[in-house]
Every structure is written in C-alpha cells, then in structure tokens.
Amino acid sequence: MLRKFFIFILCLAPWFLATLVPVDYNYYNDIILPWFAPPTIFYSIAWTIVYILIALTITMIIDSYKFKEIPMSYKITLLVNYLFNQSYTLVFFGLKNNFLGFVSCLGTLISCLFLVNETYNLKEKSRKYFIPYILLSTFAVILSFSIYILNL
C-alpha cells in the first residue's frame, strides 16, 4: 500500500512543475476575456483534480505492468501530452502569447485523446478517469481560441 502511494506521489508531482516557474499570472486579468471565462480559482481546482486523476491512471498502469512491459507508444504519448500541458503556463503567462497558448491547449486536447486510447489498451477501466481531462481540455481550447480572437 505504501509502495502504491509513493508511486502515485511520484506520478503526481511532475504535473505541478509549471507552477514553480515565475510568470505574470496577472496577465489573465489584463486581457479581454469572453463572457464565459471562469474565475481564476476554477483553474486551480479543476486542474488539480485532473492531475490527480492522471496520476491515478499512471499508477494503475505501473501497478499492473513492469515498466519495460509498458508499450513505448504509451510512454511517448504520455510525454507529448505532458509537454503540451505544461507548456501552456510558459507560453501564455510567461511569453504572454495568446496564439501559442491556443496551440498548447489544442495540442493538449489532441494528445489527451491519444492518451485515452493508449490507456484504454492497457487498462480499460481507467479510461473513465480521463473524462474530466477531455472536458476541461475542450473547454480550454474554446476559451483560449476566444481569448486569442478577442485580443488580436
């Protein structure tokens, strides 16, 4: 049990690395936002839940397979998804680039869909944990595209 918890924490921690990078989070309040933009606290809560669910699925896969048995396609898809996901904070808040923020969100959504497929192939029951990620990523694409258009 302790081993599973330790693996879970190791799988969860990297998803919060982007929060350690110093960026201008006030930028979000300084731009024109669409009417459906939620308050900033929404993102902290929603992404924390999503990251916990992602870490849970990774932990379940690691618990079911030896690391060498996990297909390279899963590992690459997870890495690509992770990089797109983490790049958002850097490009949107760090570079203050709305277009790259949109590209990052779109890449996150597309790679998330591939990750769901890869996860389904390894642990069918765990795909349900990706539903909030798909929904949040879809919302992020719509929101980021709207922000890009409104701030041209």
The pLDDT, as a whole number, for residue 3 is 84
Position 133 in a domain: yes
The answer to the question of residue 81 being in a domain is yes
Residue-range definition of the domain harbouring residue 50: 2-17+36-150
Q: Is residue 29 part of a domain?
A: no
Number of domains in the chain: 1
The helix (run of H) or strand (run of E) holding residue 56 is helix 40-64
Q: Using the Cα atoms of residue 17, residue 109, residue 47 and residue 95 in order, give the sign of their dihedral.
A: positive
Question: How do residues 87-141 score in pLDDT, each as one tens digit?
Answer: 999 999 989 999 999 999 999 999 999 999 999 988 888 888 999 999 999 999 9
Domain assignment present for 104: yes
Asked whether 150 and 34 are in contact (CB, 8 A), the reply is: yes
Assess if residue 30 is contained within a domain.
Answer: no
Place of tokens 């330790």: 6
In a domain, 25, yes or no: no
For 106, residues 6+ apart whose C-beta sits below 8 A from its C-beta are: 141, 144
The C-alpha atoms of residue 47 and residue 147 are separated, in whole angstroms, by 19
In a domain? residue 26: no
